[in-house]
Structure 1
């Protein structure tokens, strides 16, 4: 895998809360990604990240790993061309 990519992932399960968003932010920053994690009204968490494709895939793998705060039931992701409109990685 090479080049940069953007991923939008919806994380289903018992994941809303500061602990999950903080954990996601910490892992994304360790991987050198930019983006955000935000609670959705329907109980999911939306994670948007941009960076090297292998690092973005590594983040998705971590979300699925079962080592997150809370309980992840499902991660649904879609990859896209990076937009370059993100800086840092924040919790919303």
Structure 2
């Protein structure tokens, strides 16, 4: 018989932040470097983050190169059309 649920701890709550802007973000006054974002996330016990810069995905190269193997990330971007913002993330 296959056990579908075999965790001794049961359900666990984790902290996620899926809307963070870095210095790569256009139209934003964000001052946090990718390193600072990840250092802060780790120090605050955040398990998953998504850097969702305005109108570009330039931070992804740095994120994948440095942090992809040691941290769970969701790729994201925030796009603006006229005065309407849309947030996209991919898991």
Larger strand share, 1 or 2: 1
TM-score, normalised to structure 1, is 0.31
Indicate the structure (1 or 2) with the bigger Cα radius of gyration: 2
Higher RCO, Cα 8 Å, sep 6+ = 1
